[in-house]
Amino acid sequence: MRRFVIIGLAVSLFFLGAYSSFRNSQLGSCLAYAFGGFREVAQDRSERFLGKVHEDIARCRGGEAAVTWRATPWVDWQQYRATGAQDSRSAGLLSRLGFLSPNSRGIAGALLDMEYQRIELLKFNLFDNSGTFEEYIRGRGETAGSAIRVWPQFRLPSGHPSYSNVGSDGRQRCRGELVRFRHLTGLCNDIDNPLMGSTDQPFARNSQFDATFPDLGKNQIVKNRHGERLGLLKPDPQVISRRLFSRAQTPNNNCNDGHGLPGYTPSANCDYQKAPVLNVLAAFWIQFMTHDWFSHLDEGHNQSESMMMGCSTRRVDGAVKPLTGKEIRQLGCRPEDRIDKSDVAEDSPPASFATGNTTYLTRAHKTTLNRVTAWWDASQIYGYNETSRRRVRRDPRDPARLLLVFGDSPTKAAVGYLPVLRPSDPMNPQWSGQESVAFPDNWNVGLSFFHNIFAREHNIFVEVFRRQAATTPEGDSGLRNPAMPEVVIRYKDITSDELFDVARLVIAAEIAKIHTIEWTPQLLYNEPVYLAMNANWSGLLARHALVADALEKVLAGLGKSQSGKEATAWTSAFAAGPGIFGLSNDQPDVNGGINHFGSPFNFPEEFVTVYRLHPMVPDLLELREWQNDPNVIRQKLPMIETLRGKATQAIQQYGLANWALSMGRQRLGQLTLQNHPMFLQNLSMPRLKSATGKIDVPALDIIRDRERGVPRYNEFRRQYGLKQLTRFDDFIDPRVPKDSAARREQQRLVGVLRDVYGQHRCDASKVITKAQLNDDKSAINDCLGHASSSMVDNIEDVDTVIGWLAEFARPHGFAISETQFQVFILNASRRLFSDRFLTSSFRPEFYTHLGVRWVIENGPDGRIMEKGKINGHEMEVSPLKRLLLRTLPELAAELDLVVNVFDPWARDRGEYYSLQWKPRPGAETDEAFKR
């Protein structure tokens, strides 16, 4: 009997051992995961996904590396198979299993994780500041809050010039001329909510209202989180700038504080850390975009009252001490700098309301206005109010065109430059001498470049349209007037004003396309993001199998966790598969494809924060000549000499083609600590009339976020459904070898963070957040898991910009951090979902037949494919490359090998998402590869 027991035990142990090793194998983990089913979308914010998966899932998608990674605060998908470069892919027999192969599991898993994030962000992170929030929470009658589609707050007021056109005091609905094209101030994009997204509407929030404005200490939780440690100038923003933002320079490199050498000799050098796969065009592209989406400043102005900018204190052993004269000199900051205070729309105490046991604020403690339209409507080019429109010059010989000149003479469609501001144009004195455009602030060569090429593109569209009209004057243009939808508008009937507005629609959609499928996939250079962005865009055209599959799985989990009406509203938004662009453009209702998910659309304050990308800008620009060996850097021009009116001179002196080549080949600055441009720390601002006449823009980035109540970094992450950090050392990327120089550098920066932000003795009885719970469902407290009364890092105080710049651990090819990406996942989808002209009104009745084709086929000449496969995909020639070939045809030879215009033009792209910095054939002598 004893023998049987022993044998029985041995057999059991054997099977248990075998089971456990099978269970811990990838196959076992995949089976366990498959039988476990897919998670439901969280019902409550405390159950959110956080980007962290079960051990089985991690192993199935990424093997042991992914299992180990689960202990970090960073999203798990970055360790899944095939989400990196070639070495992240598994080879051999298993890789041929198609959908079941480790590579497909990795990519599909990453897409699934992103889709969970997106749906939960839409569910938990929408906070409108314009008075609709109470209904969003309570619902309206039978309608769930997130299914509400029309709000009284977006009605036109009785004094508005279009009041009677939309239905006066009855049901308001835009009609007639108001719905035909993109309206100057962004009115009537949503036909039922005339004011939504228009100029001067409040910025929204993505954080709970009571988590905003931590400096004000408005509730106990915020006080518990930060004690007395925060203020507008606490910790000191200029000290932060000089210690955590300044670029270190090699001695004797002739940088001369960003001024380079006389005659712009190329032997000058201003050191900066360079991003591997993004060029300077990409930096100015995103500045060009932000000027379309948002601005806190009105005509380049804030309030008239000014304030100090720091350079006065530092922390020593937990206490704030004044800086000594010697310390100020060592830091190089300026106590006399002044800046105008940020505009505020509302700062009276917000009302509150209660449902169940929860009390909510109806808005944030203060609100600010978005001074431009929130739509992706190219308003930086075409205007967003009457003042800006006066700067938009149309060609008197053909008013459908924008005016382009050479010297003082108007030019043909595709050549020439935008005209310069005239003394009679509305402007700030500091804009004098620069091009006349709708959004002229912070002007530089990069902005000048993009404004000029898009003005050329506008005119080329008009020219091609006019040619078509001349060939088939009786033909149906596709355009319709909604007042008489049955009447065909022939080519010959179209007026110059109509054609101008059609061209604006086309340019805006082209810009949105370039941003979605060209800029973003290069900024986040890996396979899952490539698939996700292309699927987002091409919903109109194609279903991407892996993305559609991920979406279906998440939607299945959504249905279970939502009220019927809410679930229907959500599912209908996603019904066409993963795509958003062109959604419902085949349905009769031209307004029917939009979905605001119960919260009216505007960008949130937090969105502005994550676009503070000033480190991208180098101090010296490397000038090349396309006709004269592009591999040679001829001059190094200081950025500081290419601002405002000097930008206009520089663009015209060297020509757009040389600038395209120069900015196309130079790498931009990496988004990391100690990498801000010097010239921005010392930017002259004559309008301020302060003792120094200068400001430190990176320090101002910190100040503005504090003025506008952006939660500090750790709470920001918790609010967005990401894991918190518990100490500064969490920033160190565990993948970096322990004894490497890179590791030592990260440790050094962690030391500086600790020095600047300090530590405190923690109190475990203080609850510090309502956004998340610990894994064991207990409240998160001041000790963040460390022993009570121990000294802990002041990680809660870290300014958001500092935090995301300090993220050394990033998914492969990410120029930005995962925290910034999280903000994009939500808002990048929303600005497509909410815009009628990018969904249900993307149709010939608005765009004309030529316009629709132009956007879909990247121009007038039909689809053109790149040679061979790129990262395993057959790809069309990119939309910006096609545009450059039209506007700068002299660059055809240089562009021939360019696949993505934002990838440094002379880089060899290598195989599968390589980040290597090596020259492509023909560029071996390019000096940029010697450094």
Site for ligand HEM, rule CB under 6 A:
283-284, 286-287, 290, 294-297, 302, 442, 444, 608, 611-614, 616-617, 639, 643, 683, 697, 700, 704
Nearer to ligand HEM among residue 295 and residue 595 (C-beta): 295
Measured between alpha carbons, how far is 234 from 774 in angstroms, rounded to an integer?
29
- How near is the Cβ of 288 to ligand HEM at its closest, in Å? 9
- How near is the Cβ of 334 to ligand HEM at its closest, in Å? 15
- How near is the Cβ of 283 to ligand HEM at its closest, in Å? 5
- How near is the Cβ of 295 to ligand HEM at its closest, in Å? 5
Nearer to ligand HEM among residue 328 and residue 445 (C-beta): 445
Measured between alpha carbons, how far is 279 from 901 in angstroms, rounded to an integer?
8
Measured between alpha carbons, how far is 709 from 704 in angstroms, rounded to an integer?
9
- How near is the Cβ of 370 to ligand HEM at its closest, in Å? 8
Beta-carbon contacts of residue 903 (< 8 Å; ≥ 6 apart): 277, 278, 279, 522, 909
Examine residue 235 and say whether the peptide bond preceding it is cis (omega within 30 degrees of 0).
yes
Outline where DSSP puts E strands in 376-418: 405-406, 409-410
361: which strand partners?
A: 352
Measured between alpha carbons, how far is 924 from 573 in angstroms, rounded to an integer?
50
- How near is the Cβ of 369 to ligand HEM at its closest, in Å? 10
- How near is the Cβ of 387 to ligand HEM at its closest, in Å? 17
- How near is the Cβ of 505 to ligand HEM at its closest, in Å? 25
Nearer to ligand HEM among residue 510 and residue 696 (C-beta): 696
- How near is the Cβ of 845 to ligand HEM at its closest, in Å? 35
Assess contact for 488 and 418: CB atoms under 8 A: no
- For the chain, report the end-to-end CA distance as a whole number of angstroms: 78
Nearer to ligand HEM among residue 700 and residue 702 (C-beta): 700
Helix (H) or strand (E) holding 9: helix 2-23
Assess contact for 599 and 198: CB atoms under 8 A: no
Residue-level length of the chain: 931
- How near is the Cβ of 679 to ligand HEM at its closest, in Å? 8
CB atoms within 10 A of CB 534: 22
Nearer to ligand HEM among residue 286 and residue 331 (C-beta): 286
Measured between alpha carbons, how far is 620 from 633 in angstroms, rounded to an integer?
12
Among candidates 528, 523, 632, 622, which has minimal Cα distance to 902?
523
Nearer to ligand HEM among residue 612 and residue 836 (C-beta): 612
Q: Which token pair is 755?
A: 């020095």
Measured between alpha carbons, how far is 368 from 346 in angstroms, rounded to an integer?
7
Conformational region of residue 849, where left means phi above 0, alpha means psi within -120 to 50, and beta covers everything else: alpha
- How near is the Cβ of 667 to ligand HEM at its closest, in Å? 14
Nearer to ligand HEM among residue 501 and residue 622 (C-beta): 622
Nearer to ligand HEM among residue 286 and residue 514 (C-beta): 286
Nearer to ligand HEM among residue 392 and residue 643 (C-beta): 643
Q: Which token pair is 361?
A: 């604020």
Nearer to ligand HEM among residue 591 and residue 666 (C-beta): 666
Q: Using N-to-C axis directions, what is the helix angle for 527-537 and 545-561, rounded to 10°? A: 80
Burial of 482 (0-12, 13-18, 19+ CB in 10 A): middle
Nearer to ligand HEM among residue 147 and residue 663 (C-beta): 663
Burial of 386 (0-12, 13-18, 19+ CB in 10 A): exposed
Measured between alpha carbons, how far is 291 from 153 in angstroms, rounded to an integer?
25
